[in-house]
Amino acid sequence: MTPNVGQVNLLSSDGATKDFTFDGAYFMDSTGEQIYNDIVFPLVENVIEGYNGTVFAYGQTGSGKTFSMQGVESIAAQRGVIPRAFDHIFTATATTENVKFLVHCSYLEIYNEEVRDLLGADNKQKLEIKEQPDRGVYVAGLSMHVCHDVPACKELMTRGFNNRHVGATLMNKDSSRSHSIFTVYVEGMTESGSIRMGKLNLVDLAGSERQSKTGATGDRLKEATKINLSLSALGNVISALVDGKSKHIPYRDSKLTRLLQDSLGGNTKTIMIACVSPSSDNYDETLSTLRYANRAKNIKNKPTINEDPKDALLREYQEEIARLKAMVQPGSAGPAAPDPNLIDEERKKLREEFEQAMNDLRGEYEREQTSKAELQKDLEELRAEYERANANLDNLNPEEAAKKIQQLQDQFIGGEEAGNTQLKQKRMKQLMEAETKTQKLAAALNVHRDDPLLQVYSTTQEKLDAVSSQLEKEIKKSKGYEREIEDLHGEFELDRLDYLDTIRKQDQQLKLLMQIMDKIQPIIKKDTNYSNIDRIKKEAIWNEDESRWILPDMSTNRTILPLANNGYMHEPAKQEHTLLRSNFDDKLRERLAKSDSENLANSYFKPVKQINVINKYKSDQKLSTTKSLFPTKTPTFDGLASGVIYTDALFERAQSAKRPARLASLNPNK
């Protein structure tokens, strides 16, 4: 690496050299402080002015992406980009005069193509990516946390970082298994009331990896597959943007590219930190990373200052303070009292906002074909929120209103060090040094050198030497292009093999799930809609935003069988059937009560006497005589009786089958 010209030279095993030029090149002896001051410092200054900015680290697993973004807190020179950005933001807000700032943060991860809030109450909950014309792409339900100083930001970063998914591979014992985005929102309001909002995205990408090197299996392999697919989608977006001929940019191919849509070709100033390995064993991955970064630097973004944004949180705070002050008017004597007219007006506005939110929610669910249960849940939450706000209006008193106003005003920062000249000079010095470094780099590269063929030479030999030298350079460049084509073919072949291996593993997983479904399908109850798989497939709807199928809700259709005899039963048959069931139930209860009072063990081993057998016979004969009063026709069930209740004919045959053949010859008197 040659830092003064921002050049990286990659030497292959056959002695060929590949050269890449960037805005900065830093070897292993460089520090986090040097990288931040040279590259990131101007970007953060622009964020404070109202621009959007993104810094993301890219590279193979184990190459130092997380180290570059997080760093080592205990070593001052090796602190990463994220903690240095915190110091920079709060130093800038403290030294800026006549501007009030509101700083709030969010932290999310993309794990297996699922977006999760690392700072939320439930960091396992899946969040949805949505898009609105006036707001752009955003994550619904992502928690925001107001920060007043550097320690508050560090605490959020540490808490979220501990919630990230990491896992051990052969190349890194603490490999990041997800992409993470820590976003700092800096909103500023001048004394005239104009608002500017800058946004800084600090992105730590999971590393691209090959299964043959990492030894990933099971969950690690599944994670690696999702990581590589999202990074491949990112590469496709970069290629489409650089190409200039593509009419479609595939932002929707992954959650990562969807969230970075504004950072790639949009309203954002973006810096890519490409981390590479110096090991010859990782030559192919290093070459791929350098090509990736070389394509990315050709993307043309169009950043603009975000003035008076509609979704600025600072604006909401100011409007809330103004409403509270207007609702609580000072009286002529005693404490201030709420103005009833203004409270009624506020209640009316609140009702209108609630109805509009309900209509928007219904429309959104209709567009996305979401289940009715989820819609009902969200509507209930919205109604509960409205009722709480309405109750707060009823309970409003001057003391609580003044306290709330003070709480909102305490969220603002800015101007605390406005008189610190030394701190201001240090900030301006860092900015000037970063600009000077960029100018020196451009001069060293001499990008505007003249064509040697257009220069004037004193002798023919001098011109011949210049032309020959230029020819040698062009020949060398041509050979370099030829080697580049060969390398690209080799790289594409490696990618193709990786994709084929991934397809084979996914095909195996698909066949496993299909076989399991084929085994389970016959035992699914026929009265549920999921017993008809073909119908479920037709009713399923693909949700592009969530990248998943929306299946119909499970429903059960219970079929009541009609009564026998063409849907009705004669009255005598009904009475017969009812009495039979009653006698049978009474007999069961009698036996159960008798079994509770008997000693079963003694009864079992007690000798059988002839008189006991005769008495049992008489009892059975009496029951048989009672049953013969009814017709011998076997009644049918009415759909409510259990299958264990037999008809009287079967009952008689069962009893007679148990009767001994010589029972009648026994003497009853013995």
Binding site, annotated residues: 59-66
Q: Phi-psi category of 191—alpha, beta or left, where left has phi over 0 and alpha has psi -120 to 50?
A: alpha
Q: Which amino acid is at 489?
A: H
How far is residue 92's CA from residue 85's CA, in Å, rounded to a whole number? 10
- 345 burial (CB, 10 Å; 0-12 / 13-18 / 19+) is middle
Q: How large is the angle between the packed helices 81-95 and 41-49, nearest 10 degrees?
A: 40
Q: Annotated binding residues for ATP, as ranges?
A: 59-66
In the chain, the amino acid numbered 247 is K
* Nearby residues of 297 by Cβ (< 8 Å), 6 or more positions away: 22, 23, 272
Angle (deg, nearest 10), helices 460-520 and 283-296: 100
Give the span between the Cα atoms of 466 and 14, in whole angstroms: 29
Whole-number Cα distances in Å, 518 to 512, 513, 529, 536: 10, 9, 16, 15
CA-based nearest residue to 626, from 656, 593, 594, 584 = 584
Q: Are 32 and 77 in contact (CB under 8 A)?
A: yes
CA distance 259 to 252: 9
For residue 335, the 8-state DSSP code is S
Q: Which amino acid is at 12?
A: S
Phi, psi of 162, rounded to the nearest 5 degrees? -70, -20
Residue type, 305: I
CB 182 within 8 A of CB 157: yes
Q: Which residues contact 130 (CB under 8 A, 6 or more apart)?
A: 137, 138, 139, 140, 364, 545
What is the C-alpha to C-alpha distance for residues 560 and 567, in angstroms, rounded to an integer? 12
- Give CA separation, 145 vs 155, 313, 491, 499, in Å: 11, 11, 44, 41
87 in Cβ contact with 78 (< 8 Å)? no
Q: What type of residue sits at position 293?
A: A
Q: Distance (Å, rounded) from C-alpha 624 to C-alpha 606?
A: 28
Taking alpha carbons only, the member of 216, 116, 107 closest to residue 152 is: 107
For residue 107, the tally of other CB atoms under 10 A from its CB is 26
Q: Do the Cβ atoms of 414 and 93 come closer than 8 Å?
A: yes
What is the distance between the alpha carbons of residues 614 and 199, in angstroms, rounded to a whole number? 99
Give yes or no for a contact between 255 and 129, defined as CB atoms under 8 angstroms apart: yes
Structure tokens at 591: 């036996």
Euclidean distance between CA atoms 659 and 670, whole angstroms: 19
Phi-psi region of 112 (alpha: psi -120 to 50; beta: other; left: phi over 0): left
Nearest to 575 by CA among 531, 656, 630, 614: 630
Q: Residue 661 has what DSSP assignment? A: T
Question: What's the rounded Cα separation, in Å, for the pair 584 and 562?
Answer: 25
How far is the C-alpha of 82 from the C-alpha of 14, rounded, in Å? 40
Distance CA 5, CA 28 (A): 17
